[in-house]
Amino acid sequence: MKSLCACFFTSSVFNSHSHSHWNHNHSHSHSQSQIMAGSISGPSGGNAANILLNHDFSGGLDSWHVNCCDGYVVSAEEVSQLGISMETDGNCAVITSRKECWQGLEQDITSRVSIGSTYIVSALVGISGLSQGSNDVQATLKLEYHDSATSYLFIGRTSVTRGNWKKLEGTFSLSTMPKRVVFYLEGPAPGVDILIRPVEIGCSNPNNNIARTGCVSTGEDNIVINPQFDDGLNNWSGRGCKIALHDSMGDGKILPKSGKFFASATERTQSWNGIQQDITGRVQRKLAYEVTTSVRIFGNNVTTADVRATLYVQTSDLRDQYIGIANVQATDKDWIDMQGKFLLNGSPSKVVIYLEGPPPGTDILVNSLVVKRAPKTPPSTPPDIKGVAFGVNVIENSNLADGTNGWYPLGNCTLSVKTGSPHIMPPMARDSLGPHELLSGRYILVTNRTQTWMGPAQTITDKLKLFIRKRDVTLKFSGLDASNYSKTSVQVRQIQNNFPVGTCISRMNIDNEDFVDFFVKHFNWAVFGNELKWYWTEPQQGNFNYKDADDLLNLCQKNKIETRGHCIFWEVDGTVQQWIKALNKTDLMAAVQNRLNGLLTRYKGKFNHYDVNNEMLHGSFYQDRLGKDIRANMFKTANQLDPAATLFVNDYHVEDGCDTRSCPEKYIEHILDLQEQGSPVGGIGIQGHIDSPVGPIVCSSLDKLGILGLPIWFTELDVSSTNEYVRADDLEVMLREAMAHPAVEGLMLWGFWELFMSRDNSHLVNAEGEINEAGKRFLALKQEWLSHSHGNVDQQGQYNFRGFHGTYKVDIVIDTKKVSKTFVLDKGDSPMVVSIDF
């Protein structure tokens, strides 16, 4: 007699409503039984690589998830005790405590599947235990979409009897790419245990040929098909133009750099026309790929032109994205190599790589195109640098290894070095200094002291710098008996420093959950890289795009992250849209007013800052066309439309002394000129794209700008070095200068994730999510800028400490009673008193 479970169905696709109501009553009684799933030689006898991780359970249940029930792994020998034998060694996953038909074992395979490919599922399944008759075992896909809809895709099922293996087979393919794809085995009635052996999911290409690694290249393989045109122009196409195959051109003067052939993109009428290949399904999200190609140009009397490698991505919700991979100045004289990297954050529905760039009428020639997994960057070697300004002990000869050198007696006393002191640091000192080497065991003995102030001393005046952002705190206790003061312990921990530390983000980034996780954990402010700029929100006149900015703003608001608006206008000619350049003076003035009204009305009260007219020291597009007053009018109108927003000027090379156009003196003159015209300038933006920063030079620039009395922000900070340790040192210089200067009220990094930075070698996190040395230094500094303290209540019923501004949690313990309190330490000159009632 066959045991039936009411959760089975005949439709191959069903919605979340029908699937979520599988909890039916069953008229048939069921004793405990188990499902077995075992591997065969490969899907349909093939040898496709398995896309499932830990498919044989050699790693226990790693990479698998037990869905609302319990699970564990047993060996082949132990399986025999369940009434079924295994011919080969291996492991099985046992799933127990199932209360619904759909409960079983699942694995997220989102990043290992793609649209347009056919996937073949194969397993051996069986039942065991006291089951009567047969049970159905089923393979299913759960598909979660961006609009929160969920559907389920039936793959296959088979009937299994006790003590016997049955093959379960099925196939699936995806026409669109969901946000999440989960594979799982399910089916028996509630109370029936599941026992699963290795399961295979392989991928065949559209021609039914078995592909490697689930149709996704992950190793040294070139994912480009026909990369050197040995198969003619198969798999290649023109992007808005024609393409042709050649073994030579120009009367035999142009020959392939390698191989026998090369291709040309010809009859180009737009700069974006070129040669392309659809690589959908052959690249994985969150993995870095390296692109290498050889190119040159031909025709139209053009001798040099910019050639770019670009990635077109259509997201699963049908948004278009363009990722710049690399560019090179190509010539008509010889082949030149071009190399770059890219990474996909989300799960795209389409991915196309193409070459573009030269002016219309100029042919692009390509000899080969290779796209492979990017190799890991070799680790950097720490440089041997002496006299580092930050992060070192300012006390000379602190471990007394050189006797009393560097020390002198304060007063008429005598110093000598002895041995025999403890090697372990006392707890109070340990808390203040953090991780520390063992003590040397040496100590200074001071004799002949005649006054209390006499003792060992060092002069450290020239080694100290002003360090602010701290305040004294007094915890005042009431309801506590004086006899218990010394028995009452106090533990103070700072949860968050309220000094603004933010970063640049882009719409593309937030499809990567690893990026988002790092962002919300380590930053409290954000700025959008491009999504608020005019050329992004209105690329063609009247064609608006605020969706990307809205998505970023929603993420920030959800995580209570403050935002800067960058930027309303950009004064540099090369950043202005062509349709704006084509306007006459009257229409341009109207467009400027529409931009102000549209942007600031839409986002009123949502951005704390605005960079009103970016880089006015380096450009003058609007001023040249609309007159000098336009800059002040932009500030005045922005202030009228959103009075709560602080309005900033923003420019580069202000802090490093590298550009006479934007030295601090010129910046001050510029700001004063705006203010004289009535501009409500509320803040000074220093971008901070800097190499090899020198602390005193940066500090001097801040001192000069500080006389204006306006808050200073580093708005786009990044430092670049191929050596991660040098990058870390340079970043530390800038962070400490910002943190230590009283005029600086916040800083923004211009990104942190590799391949999504405006400058190479400035990232803190490598493309595939590994935190590098610069990132580790950044996180260490953030920890350093948290204050912690512990001790006991003093005889006045108080506990005193000094800490950075921010949020604190205090735990007070006496005997078995514990009281906790959270408070925020704001700026202030006098000690903050926090009352705690016992």
The DSSP output letter for 674 is H
Helix (H) or strand (E) holding 633: helix 629-641
Q: Which residues pair with 505 in a beta bridge?
A: 528
CA distances from 389 to 121, 302, 462, 701, 723 (A): 61, 51, 12, 18, 19
**Nearest 10 degrees: CA dihedral of 202, 206, 207, 209?**
-20
CA separation for the pair 705, 724 (Å, rounded): 31
The two tokens of residue 114 are 């793609």
Could you confirm whether 770 is annotated as catalytic? no
Q: Which residues pair with 204 in a beta bridge?
A: 118, 210
CA separation for the pair 73, 57 (Å, rounded): 7
The bridge status of strand 712-719 relative to strand 683-686 is parallel
- Cβ–Cβ under 8 Å, residues 832 and 826: yes
Helix (H) or strand (E) holding 513: helix 513-522
Q: Which residues pair with 477 in a beta bridge?
A: 836
Tokens 């008429």 -> residue = 412
- Cβ–Cβ under 8 Å, residues 744 and 712: yes
CA separation for the pair 671, 649 (Å, rounded): 8
CA distances from 640 to 59, 191, 645, 648, 675 (A): 63, 67, 10, 15, 16
**Strand residues in 421-528 grouped as ranges (E):** 442-447, 455-457, 470-478, 489-497, 501-505, 525-528
The two tokens of residue 652 are 């580069």
CA separation for the pair 641, 592 (Å, rounded): 14
CA distances from 696 to 110, 711, 736 (A): 51, 20, 12
**Three-state SS for 745?**
strand
CA distances from 306 to 253, 327, 358, 531 (A): 22, 7, 6, 25
SS3 sequence of 515-541: HHHHHHHHCCEEEECCCCCHHHHCCEC
Tokens 């209570």 -> residue = 560
Would you mind telling me the total number of residues written for the chain in this entry?
838
Q: Which residues pair with 475 in a beta bridge?
A: 799, 834
Tokens 């800490």 -> residue = 803
**Three-state SS for 508?**
coil
Tokens 């006390």 -> residue = 395
Amino acid at 546: Y
Does residue 318 come out as left (phi exceeding 0), alpha (psi in the -120 to 50 range) or beta? Answer: left
Q: Which residues pair with 194 in a beta bridge?
A: 35, 95
- Give 511-516 contacts, CB < 8 A, sequence gap 24+: 511/285, 511/315, 511/345, 511/346, 511/347, 512/285, 512/286, 512/345, 512/346, 512/753, 514/286, 514/769, 515/345, 515/753, 516/555
CA separation for the pair 457, 399 (Å, rounded): 14
- Cβ–Cβ under 8 Å, residues 696 and 734: no
The two tokens of residue 773 are 């040395």
Catalytic residue among 716, 724, 732, 754: 716
Q: Which residues belong to the active site?
A: 716
